[in-house]
Amino acid sequence: MTKVKRRDFIRNSVLAGVGTSLLNDTLHAKEHEFSKVSTKPNSSPKKVIIGGGGIGGLCTAYELMKKGHDVTVFEASGRHGGHVYTARDGLSDGLYGDYGMEHITKPGYDRYWAYLDEFNITTLPYPRRKNVLRRIKGKFYTEEMLHDPAILKEFGFNEKEIKYLSNNPWWDLKSLYLNPYLDKFTDEYQPFGVGYDDWDNTPIADIYKKDGASETALSRLGGNHTSALFELWQAAILKLRGVPLAPPELFRLKGGNQTLTDTFAKRLGPRVWLNCQIKEIKQYDSGVSVTYQRQGKEISMEADYYVNCIPLPTLKNIPIEPALPATRQYINENITYDSYQRFVFQASSKFWEKDGLSINMDLGHPDLWNVWQSAEEVDTHRVIVLGTGPGGISPMRALAAFREVYPGKGDTIEQAVSRDWTKQKYAPNCERLPFPMGELNKFWPHLMEPVGRIYFAGAYADNLNWGTEAATRSANRVAELIDQS
Residue range 225-256, pLDDT digits in tens: 999 999 999 999 999 999 999 999 999 999 99
Are 60 and 195 in a shared domain?
Answer: no
Q: What digits encode the pLDDT tens for the residues 38-91?
A: 677 777 999 999 999 999 999 999 999 999 999 999 999 999 999 999 999 999
Domain-terminating residue out of 402, 428, 454? 428
Q: What digits encode the pLDDT tens for the residues 204-228?
A: 999 999 999 999 999 999 999 999 9
Are 458 and 323 in a shared domain?
Answer: yes
**Percent of the chain scored above 90 by pLDDT?**
89
pLDDT of 18 > 60? The answer is: no
What integer is the mean pLDDT of 316-343?
96
Element (H, E) at 302: strand 297-303
CA geometry: angle 248, 249, 254, nearest 5 deg? 130
Domain-terminating residue out of 208, 241, 274? 241
196 found inside a domain: yes
Distance CA 32, CA 262 (A): 15
**Per-residue pLDDT at 472:** 98
Are 264 and 347 in a shared domain?
Answer: no
- Coil/strand/helix, residue 370: strand
Distance CA 137, CA 155 (A): 10
150 found inside a domain: yes
477 found inside a domain: yes
Are 405 and 443 in a shared domain?
Answer: no
Are 220 and 318 in a shared domain?
Answer: no
What integer is the mean pLDDT of 364-376?
98
Residue 106: Cβ-neighbour burial (10 angstroms; 0-12, 13-18, 19+): middle
Are 137 and 231 in a shared domain?
Answer: yes
pLDDT of 34 > 50? The answer is: no
Backbone angles phi, psi at 24, to 5 degrees: -60, -40
279 found inside a domain: yes
Beta strands in 317-469 (DSSP E): 320-321, 341-347, 361-365, 368-374, 383-389, 413-420, 454-456
Are 313 and 458 in a shared domain?
Answer: yes
Q: What digits encode the pLDDT tens for the residues 333-356?
A: 999 999 999 999 999 999 999 999
Are 381 and 458 in a shared domain?
Answer: no
Q: Which of 230, 237, 238, 240 is nearest to 198 (CA)?
A: 230
Element (H, E) at 469: helix 467-484
137 found inside a domain: yes
Are 237 and 139 in a shared domain?
Answer: yes
pTM (2 d.p.) = 0.90
Q: What is the mean pLDDT of the chain?
A: 92
Are 67 and 142 in a shared domain?
Answer: no
109 found inside a domain: no
What integer is the mean pLDDT of 158-169?
98
What integer is the mean pLDDT of 178-193?
98
Q: Which of 41, 43, 13 is nearest to 26 (CA)?
A: 13
What integer is the mean pLDDT of 435-440?
97
Contact 227, 201 (CB under 8 A): yes
Count of domains in the chain? 3
pLDDT of 8 > 80? The answer is: no
What integer is the mean pLDDT of 172-185?
98
Domain-terminating residue out of 410, 428, 446? 428
What integer is the mean pLDDT of 158-179?
97
Q: Looking at 115-119, 166-170, 410-414, 463-467, which range is the least confident one? A: 463-467
Residue numbers of the domain that contains 457:
6-82+258-336+432-484
127 found inside a domain: no
Distance CA 241, CA 281 (A): 37
Check which CATH number belongs to the domain holding 359 and give it: 3.90.660.10
Are 173 and 302 in a shared domain?
Answer: no
Q: Which amino acid is at 228?
A: A
Q: Which residues contact 369 (CB under 8 A, 6 or more apart)?
A: 362, 363, 387, 388, 389
Are 212 and 199 in a shared domain?
Answer: yes
Contact 361, 135 (CB under 8 A): yes
> pLDDT confidence of 430, banded at 50, 70, 90?
confident
Check which CATH number belongs to the domain holding 54 and give it: 3.50.50.60
